[in-house]
């Protein structure tokens, strides 16, 4: 997600071409981080680059720290986490701040006529301690992250299906939000005022990601109009477009000068965004099964789940498949990548591992290099939202209304993996 489980509706919106509204704010660009730091998972894919990467190192196997069941509710969003708090909305109109340590509700906002299908974004800037979230009626809200007080709201004309992206290193800090009204909005984080709008020809369901070029920062949208849009961060003007041959709602992952994402038609792309050229493409999801999972990238490999009940990994440079791991259910949730230490190995010897959740309710930790399992947990309820990780904790929210929190297992507990 964008929202991994969302399906683009293929009707064309009457966009009237590109419409850019450039505000009076002068934006100072700064390079955005490409991985989530150890103390926060602030946006849907961990960072504005959409890599699904965290700097944390977990000790496997993981152990259940707590679980909390919210009866009658359903979660499809990825949790975001900062300063010891989890921020998460449900489909029934409740947006929650939970304690990372205990799962206790710290505050709650209730919308009587809308739900929250996608991830929020939380600012880690101490001068702007806000959490921003969109709902399925198209309202974008910013709350004080400590108290839940509403700071500002902006109404759009379409559902917010993809999480916002906060550019905290800009001055002023910005938030990018796409809507099913086919418009990407760039807002000032402090007050929600419009800096610019960029309209495309059909719905936006992905989260916007950001990468650096020699000519400045670029925003990337993979659209329901079947095109990759490359947009200048400062002005909101179109820089280039790349035809994809079909729609998508997945969020691009940035690695160096390339973007990686799949489409509804089952094609997975590697695109050079400096040249706006397709470098390679693969159609490994047999029978044209859709990609609704966004990719994660690390160590020269890109990992993605498909509706074909598999996790697949390709080489970043040429798209060659490195491994393919079947799971029990569809993989609409997006994988994340962390470092892990394994039982029997020295504490300082860590490897990259993929953590992914499926529609059958299984959470799996797989070695990045070969897909071999390191740890698995049967949660029961299926997952459409992705896991999030900070410090020694892994958090995931299921469609049956359960929020799960796992922790690294101390060495003396390594024989009790749970699940």
Percent of the chain with pLDDT over 90: 85
Tokens of 214: 């020699």
In this prediction, residues 106-118 reach a mean pLDDT of: 96
pLDDT tens digits for range 253-303: 999 999 999 999 999 999 999 999 999 999 865 556 899 999 999 999 999
- Write out the two tokens for 414: 């390594």
261 contacts 281 by C-beta, under 8 angstroms:
no
Q: What is the pLDDT of residue 287?
A: 59
Band of residue 345 on the pLDDT scale cut at 50, 70, 90: confident
40-413 is classed CATH 3.10.100.10: no
pLDDT at position 170 is 87
Secondary structure (H, E, C), the chain: CCCCCCCCCCCCCCCCCCCCCCCCCCCECCCCCCCECCCEECCCCCCCCCCCEEEEEEECCEEEEEEEECCCCCCCCCCEEECCEEEEECCCCEEEEEECCCCCEEEEEECCCCCCCCCCEECCCCCCCEEEEECCCCEEEEEECCCCCEEEEEECCCCCCCCCEEECCCECCEEEEECCCCEEEEEECCCCCEEEEEECCCCCCCCCEEEEECCEEEEEEECCCCEEEEEECCCCCEEEEEECCCCCCCCCEEECCEEEEECCCCCEEEEECCCCEEEEEECCCHHHCCCCCCCEEECCEEEEEECCCEEEEEECCCCCEEEEEECCCCCCCCCEEEEEECCCCCCCCCEEEEEEECCCCEEEEEECCCCCEEEEEECCCCCCCCCEEECCEEEEECCCCEEEEEEECCHHHCCCCCC
High-pLDDT (> 70) share of the chain, %: 88
Number of neighbours of residue 235 by Cβ within 10 angstroms: 16
**Per-residue pLDDT reduced to its tens digit, 364-393:** 999 999 999 999 999 999 999 999 999 999
**Whether the Cβ atoms of residue 139 and residue 114 lie closer than 8 Å to each other:** yes
Residue 28 has pLDDT above 90, yes or no: no
Write the pLDDT tens digit of every residue in 175-187.
Answer: 999 999 999 999 9
Residue 332 predicted with pLDDT over 90: yes
Please count the CA atoms within 13 angstroms of the CA of 101 that sit on its side-chain side.
3
Nearest-angstrom CA–CA distance, 69 and 397: 10
Report pLDDT digits (tens) over 132-169: 999 999 999 999 999 999 999 999 999 999 999 999 98
What is the pLDDT at residue 411?
56
Contact of 26 with 9, CB cutoff 8 Å: no
pLDDT of residue 171: 86
Q: For residues 280 and 405, what is the distance between their CA atoms, to the nearest angstrom?
A: 38
The token pair at 222 is 């993979």
Per-residue model confidence (pLDDT) at position 347: 65
Q: Most distant CA pair in the chain: distance in Å?
A: 64
Residue 319 has pLDDT above 90, yes or no: yes
Please state whether the predicted TM-score (pTM) of the whole model is above 0.85: yes
Contact 233, 218 (CB under 8 A): yes
Distance CA 367, CA 325 (A): 11
pLDDT at 5 over 60: no
Contact (CB, 8 A) for 396 and 341: no
| Mean pLDDT for the stretch of residues 33-40 | 92
Confidence category of residue 11, pLDDT binned at 50, 70, 90? very low
Q: Which of 282, 260, 229, 252 is nearest to 47 (CA)?
A: 252
Q: How confident is the model at residue 32 (pLDDT cuts 50, 70, 90)?
A: low
Q: Which of 254, 282, 257 is nearest to 268 (CA)?
A: 282
Distances in Å between the Cα of 287 and the Cα atoms of 7, 291, 327, 344 are 17, 12, 17, 41
State the average pLDDT over residues 199-205: 96
Structure tokens at 321: 């498949």
What pLDDT does residue 96 have?
98
Closest CA to 210 of 352, 78, 27: 27
> Distance between CA 183 and CA 309 in Å, rounded?
32
pLDDT, greater one: 14 or 54: 54
What are 51-98's pLDDT values in tens digits? 999 999 999 999 999 999 999 999 999 999 999 999 999 999 999 999
What pLDDT band is residue 21 in, cutting at 50, 70 and 90?
A: very low
């Amino acid at each position: 997600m964008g929202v991994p489980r969302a399906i683009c509706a293929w009707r064309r919106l009457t966009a009237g071409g590109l419409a850019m509204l450039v505000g009076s704010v002068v934006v100072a660009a700064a390079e955005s981080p490409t991985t989530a730091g150890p103390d926060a998972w602030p946006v849907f894919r961990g960072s504005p680059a959409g890599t699904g990467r965290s700097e944390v190192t977990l000790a496997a196997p993981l152990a259940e720290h707590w679980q909390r069941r919210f009866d009658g509710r359903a979660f499809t969003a990825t949790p975001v986490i900062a300063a010891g708090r989890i921020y998460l909305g449900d489909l029934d109109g409740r947006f929650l701040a939970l304690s990372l340590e205990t799962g206790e509700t710290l505050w709650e906002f209730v919308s009587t006529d809308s739900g929250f299908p996608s991830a929020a974004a939380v600012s880690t800037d101490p001068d702007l301690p806000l959490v921003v979230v969109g709902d399925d009626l198209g309202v974008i809200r910013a709350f004080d992250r400590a108290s839940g007080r509403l700071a500002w709201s902006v109404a759009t004309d379409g559902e917010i299906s993809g999480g916002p992206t906060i550019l905290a290193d800009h001055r002023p800090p910005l938030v990018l939000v796409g809507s099913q009204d086919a418009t990407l909005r760039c807002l000032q984080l402090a007050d929600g005022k419009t800096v610019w709008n960029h309209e495309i020809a059909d719905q936006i369901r992905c989260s916007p990601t950001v990468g650096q070029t020699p000519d400045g920062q670029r925003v990337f949208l993979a659209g329901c109009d079947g095109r990759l849009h490359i947009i200048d961060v400062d002005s909101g003007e179109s820089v280039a477009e790349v035809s994809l041959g079909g729609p998508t709602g997945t969020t691009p992952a940035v690695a160096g000068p390339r973007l990686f994402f799949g489409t509804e038609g089952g094609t997975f792309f590697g695109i050079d965004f400096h040249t706006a050229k397709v470098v390679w493409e693969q159609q490994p999801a047999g029978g044209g099964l859709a990609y609704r999972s966004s990719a994660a990238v690390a160590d020269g490999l890109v990992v993605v789940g498909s509706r074909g009940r598999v996790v697949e990994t390709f080489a970043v440079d040429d798209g060659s498949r490195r491994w393919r791991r079947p799971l029990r259910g569809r993989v609409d949730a997006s994988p994340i990548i962390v470092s892990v230490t394994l039982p029997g190995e020295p504490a300082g010897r860590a490897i990259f591992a993929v953590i992914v959740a499926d529609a059958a309710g299984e959470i799996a930790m797989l070695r990045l290099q070969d897909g071999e399992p390191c740890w698995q947990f049967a949660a029961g309820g299926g997952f459409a939202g992705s896991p999030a990780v900070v410090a020694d904790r892994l958090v995931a929210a299921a469609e049956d209304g359960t929020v799960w929190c796992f922790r690294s297992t101390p060495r003396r507990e390594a024989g009790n993996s749970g699940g």
